[in-house]
Amino acid sequence: MQTSAQRVESITGSPFLQRIFYGIVALAIITTALGFAGRYFGHTISLGGHTEETTLHEIVIGNNVLSLPANAIRFRAQRRDGIAQRVDLYLHWPDMQGYQAGFIKDFNGAGQTKTLLFLTFEPRATSRDMSGRYGPIYSTLTDGPGIKGPSGLTIQNFRANTGFVSEQLAVSPETKGRDFFVARCLDEETSRTNLASCQRDIFIGEDLQLTYRFPREFLARWEELDQKVRTFAQGHLRTPK
């Protein structure tokens, strides 16, 4: 009868199996490193790359034309006119402005308070936005009725087997004639070191999805937040020529 040591030796003794074994080990190391890197860099913004230029760029996504100032577009490569698959923005709260020299600490993630929103415009990925997904999907994945959150919101925990690790759901009260406000957020402990730990998506224009990320602390002003994001989006959406 072989011992454990003998079995391990026989497995790693084959050159082919050695390559597989060491490949799995390397993959595990890379995955762990990427996990740590993701957690770290997710809390900061790349220094540099900002611009104070306010030239408007007409960006076409599907049948939608967005007219956006360069200083609100997060990535240099996206600051151009023409067809795009998506465009990423960052805005200063509460004035909803792009980068300015006076905001440099905030845009570099070094300000005393969290003041940035991150917006992504792209084609719709689902048939319903986050509010519409609450009833048929999210409500079935949460555990219990939840606890009282800020400004009338309810904070619900996801069940452990759903895959939403360290995440919670923030849901507004049901109001006649108005959709639920629904946002996914990292839990309070994880959110402390994250610049934008909540996420919500809405539909605008023609088959256009707007996903916006924001600090969990902004949940206390969720009605103002959602309205300002919608107003900004509609104000920069142009009718195709």
Residues 182/187/188/189 CA torsion (nearest 10 deg): -170
pTM of the model: 0.79
Residues 221/223/225/230 CA torsion (nearest 10 deg): 180
The pLDDT of residue 98 is 97
Q: What phi and psi, each to the nearest 5 degrees, are found at residue 109?
A: 70, 20
The number of CA neighbours under 13 Å toward the Cβ of 56 is 10
Give the helix/strand (H/E) hosting 201: strand 198-204
The pLDDT of residue 13 is 52
The parts of the chain modelled with pLDDT lower than 70 are 1-48, 239-241
Other Cβ atoms less than 10 A from the Cβ of 107: the count is: 23
Listed by start position, the domains of the chain span 4-41, 56-238
The answer to whether the CB of 237 falls within 8 A of the CB of 205 is yes
The pLDDT of residue 36 is 43
The pLDDT of residue 21 is 43
